[in-house]
Amino acid sequence: MALYLVHACNQRLWYVRDFLLPSMINQGIDPDKILVYRDKNNIGNLRAWVDSCNRLTTVGADGVWHLQDDVVICKDFKERTEQYDSGLVCGFTCAYNVPTVAGKFKLSEEKMWFSFPCIRIPMDIIKEFTEWANKCLWQSEYFRENVMRNNADDLVFREWLYDGYPDMEELNLAPNLVNHIDYLIDGSVVNKGRNRDTTSIFWEDNDIIEELKGAIEDYRRKKLNDKQTNS
């Protein structure tokens, strides 16, 4: 049985606490199975990913569903994450993330999605990646630019998989398990000024997006009214 890890930055902790976590719990997910990694000291994208992996190595579970802090889950998220709770599973892709084909493939075919908004990773892979990252990543010439910019956690992980596990099978799951909604919560934190579409191309629960949009507007309106009342 896998755990759920929500990777949160300080700017989005409000969304994780007041929207994402309640939506998961409301579907029946055990709160004790949800871990929130908060980048409290703002160490950044790549370093925070490796730090979260270090913390996962002591957790007893077969795998982890890794979620980013700017997603909304589908209406049957719990059911489908339990149904596909085995191996490497990519639960998200967007328009510029090619190839976009769904199905089961070998990594050597290079069809794996950039799926860090929602991806299931076996725990033994987490442990091996963490051991490698701690020893080699920060001095790697191949990843030097990513280390300098402290970004591209998904790219680094995917390239490491290609190198070490070319025959591993991975599943690109459609419809997607989550949708990317950073545009509803002040835009990208890492890629300021990004203007390309990063929403799911395999998404069927548009009513959830509309409900979330209204709920966030109400939430912000209430926060503003409370602030004005208390000022």
Position 220 confidence tier, pLDDT thresholds 50, 70, 90: very high
In a domain, 147, yes or no: yes
In a domain, 46, yes or no: yes
Give residue 187's pLDDT. 63
pLDDT tens figures, 20-78: 999 999 999 999 999 999 999 999 999 999 999 999 988 888 999 999 999 999 999 99
In a domain, 214, yes or no: no
In a domain, 24, yes or no: yes
The pair of three-digit structure tokens given for residue 161, joined into one six-digit string: 């998989």
Number of domains in the chain: 1
In a domain, 212, yes or no: no
In a domain, 109, yes or no: yes
pLDDT of 192 > 60? The answer is no
pLDDT tens figures, 122-160: 999 999 999 999 999 999 999 999 999 999 999 999 999
**153 φ/ψ angles, rounded to the nearest 5 degrees:** -60, -40
pLDDT of 189 > 60? The answer is no
Q: Could you tell me if 40 and 137 are in contact, meaning their C-beta atoms sit under 8 angstroms apart?
A: no
Q: What is the CATH number of the domain that holds 117?
A: 3.90.550.10
Q: What's the domain range around 18? A: 3-203
Residues 6+ apart with CB under 8 A from 225: none
In a domain, 225, yes or no: no
Position 95 confidence tier, pLDDT thresholds 50, 70, 90: confident
In a domain, 43, yes or no: yes
Q: Could you tell me if 221 and 115 are in contact, meaning their C-beta atoms sit under 8 angstroms apart?
A: no
